[in-house]
Amino acid sequence: MKTLNINKDVRIRVTDMGLDILNSLPSDEFKVPNVDENGYCEITLVEAMYIFGKFMYMGAIDYPISMLIQIEDTKFESE
């Protein structure tokens, strides 16, 4: 089994809803991640859970991020 430290960076694709959420963050309290031209940003998994978690629930009409998260194999740690 492989494990992933939730403090490691992942790449997520942000939806329009996610962009609205990121733009509403207080920049003096949080470093807002840069979103590239394809809608992806690099962020730690724990930050993504903190920012977007309350908007992701069963039955939601829209989600702030894609359900697919990009993780480099080298970011996995052995147990």
> pLDDT averaged over consecutive 10-residue blocks of the chain (79 residues)?
85 94 85 87 93 92 92 63
Whole-number pLDDT of residue 54:
94
Interacting residues of 29 by C-beta distance below 8 A, sequence separation 6+: none
Phi, psi dihedral angles at 11 (to 5 degrees): -110, 125
* pLDDT given at position 21: 93
Question: Tell me, what's the pLDDT at 71?
Answer: 86
Q: What is the DSSP string of 57-75?
A: -TT-S--SEEEEEE--GGG
Tell me, what's the pLDDT at 27? 77
